[in-house]
Amino acid sequence: MRQIRTIATILLFAALAVAGVGQDPEIAFSGSDGHLHTVSALSHNCTLVLYFVKHDCSLLKRSFASYNQVGRAAQGSRKLAFFGVINGTDQDYRAFAKRFSPAFPFLLDYEKRLVIANGVRNSSEVLVVKDGKVTERIKGFSKSGMNRIAAIVSKASGRKVKADTTTAPDSETLGCHY
């Protein structure tokens, strides 16, 4: 795992040197699936949904089952990729996975590079990315937000997906601050 982090760090500094200040560098993130991923590669010719998780956020107890249900429905589609983004280390992710059993892969963003580059302020925020560009932002956990995410997954995957909103509040509830 240290080798992957070292490679990711080297790639970051190389990308920063090429991209210049203020531009979104092409950063490779370790995935829970054991592969390195970049946002542009994941979103090339498909819709990418990124669900941001703070590994120690208390809102997870109430919200994760809803996101997990929609993320599970997204798996196996060629026109859609659904990834969680967790702000912890590999060890933090393993503890999170043991507790919540995610049905979709995660990107490990232990240095919050993806969080910072995209202006994510709170966990439970969702970004929709197409060809490397953020096209939609859903802030917080709510019935309308979960229904919007399900509609995006339905449209991109060609499958009818209904969000489980039983634990979702009517109004937007922001996750934990980064």
CATH of the domain at 117: 3.40.30.10
Over residues 3-28, the mean pLDDT reads 46
Cβ-based neighbours of 10, under 8 Å, separated by 6 or more: none
Residue in 147, 115, 144 with CA at minimum distance from that of residue 50: 115
φ/ψ of 153, rounded to 5, equals -65, -40
Residue 165 — pLDDT band, cuts 50, 70, 90? very high
Structure confidence at residue 121 (pLDDT): 94
Domain-located, residue 69: yes
Whether 9 is in a domain gets the answer no
> Would you say residue 135 lies in a domain?
yes
pLDDT attached to residue 52: 97
Residue pair 84/48 in contact (Cβ under 8 Å)? The answer is no
Is residue 37's pLDDT more than 80?
yes
As a whole number, mean pLDDT of residues 6-10 equals: 46
pLDDT, position 26: 74
Dump pLDDT digits (tens) for 53-104. Answer: 998 999 999 999 999 999 999 999 989 999 999 998 889 999 999 999 999 9
pLDDT at 13 over 60: no
Residue 136 lies in a domain: yes
What residues make up the domain containing 109? 32-157
Neighbouring CB atoms inside 10 A of 14's CB total 12
Whole-prediction pTM value?
Answer: 0.84
In a domain, 174, yes or no: no
Greater confidence (22 vs 42) lies with 42
* Count of the separate structural domains present in the chain: 1
Q: How much is the mean pLDDT over the chain?
A: 86
Examine the pLDDT at 40 and tell me if it is beyond 90: no
Tens digits of per-residue pLDDT, 91-138?
A: 999 999 999 999 999 999 999 999 999 999 999 999 999 988 899 999
